Structure 1
Amino acid sequence: MTQSQLLRMDNLGIVVESLDDAVAFFTELGLTLEGRATIEGEWAGRITGLRDQRVEIAMMVTPDGHSRLELSRFLAPPVVADHRNAPVNALGYLRAMFAVSDLDDTLARLRKHGAQLVGEVVQYEDAYRLCYLRGPEGLLIGLAEPLGGNR
């Protein structure tokens, strides 16, 4: 019998209050809305352990088609915790990193959607320009501009 193998990471999920604001932000970043749906029913609650859940989702896809971001807005049950303003060294904290072709242009566009730098834009050797920013609702996002041979 052969051992099961990991095929890929399908998506990363983030829970938000405003699906419209999050979709607008990630669209500006360069992702495309693949679809929106409301997920509910006994089968969905069995997966998450939340039982009678009702959640609106928006699936965003990167330009290369390989990565997806699932944005979720829970309608029921109510949200029970808020980790959006936790510092980057909090246990279990989530950060998504995106590679961009022009970090300065991307930052300028995302600032129009309320994005704020967490620290500074820094250069790591001759490989990357990097930064962390807070997007809609304080979500932590990383941006990396590949330099030289990393492009």
Structure 2
Amino acid sequence: MTCFVSHTTVDCTDAYALSEWWKGLLGYVDIPDDPNEPGHEECMIQRPDGGHRLLFLEVPEAKAGKNRLHLDLRPQERTRDEEIAWALGMGATQVADHRGIYGPGSGWVILADPEGNEFCILRSEAEVAAGTAG
């Protein structure tokens, strides 16, 4: 028998604030009948279609060092560069820029959420299909 991924958990110091930030970034929503509220130590959000879930769990330690696991995000409505600019405008910080690392049209940018958890923004599927450089 095999397992399946129930949800992805993110350790943090303020579960509510970080879940709200990620809801804005991903367009996720609260779990029906289980809304998140300030002061909750565990806050779960999910895709609007009920798909992937993220659980934000308060822990006493601050983030230390590089993430060993991170999310790779692919824009649905914008280009990679537009998505990066939008995320930075929401309060993400840029950690590293790997655009063009394997030649024109390749690469990604590593960003961090307000608590320092890293994630990558890739090119959109339309950019990949078009072979768009950048």
Q: TM-score, normalised by structure 2?
A: 0.69
Q: CA deviation at 1:86?
A: 1.0
Larger Rg: 1
Task: Work out whether 1:148 is the aligned partner of 2:133.
Answer: no
The 3-state SS of whatever aligns with 2:85 is helix
Higher strand share: 1
Identity %, equivalent residues: 16
Q: CA deviation at 1:103?
A: 1.9
Check conservation: 1:37, 1:56, Cα contact below 8 A: no
Total equivalences in the alignment: 120
Aligned residue identity for 1:108 = A
Task: Work out whether 1:26 is the aligned partner of 2:22.
Answer: yes
Q: CA deviation at 1:9?
A: 1.1
Superposition misfits of 4+ residues, deviation over 6 angstroms: none
Change (3 A) 1:72 1:129: same
Check conservation: 2:28, 2:45, Cα contact below 8 A: yes
In the other structure, the counterpart of 1:51 is: none
Q: CA deviation at 1:25?
A: 2.1
In the other structure, the counterpart of 1:108 is: 85
Task: Work out whether 1:5 is the aligned partner of 2:19.
Answer: no
Q: TM-score, normalised by structure 1?
A: 0.63
Change (3 A) 1:115 1:10: same
State how far apart, in whole Å, the 2-side matches of 1:129 and 1:63 are: 29
1:103-143 CA distance string (max 9 Å, x none): 22222222123211111141456885422111111111122
State how far apart, in whole Å, the 2-side matches of 1:28 and 1:120 are: 23
Check conservation: 2:16, 2:36, Cα contact below 8 A: no
Aligned residue identity for 1:17 = T
Q: Which 5+ residue runs of structure 2 have no aligned equivalent?
A: none
Q: Which 5+ residue runs of structure 1 have no aligned equivalent?
A: 39-54
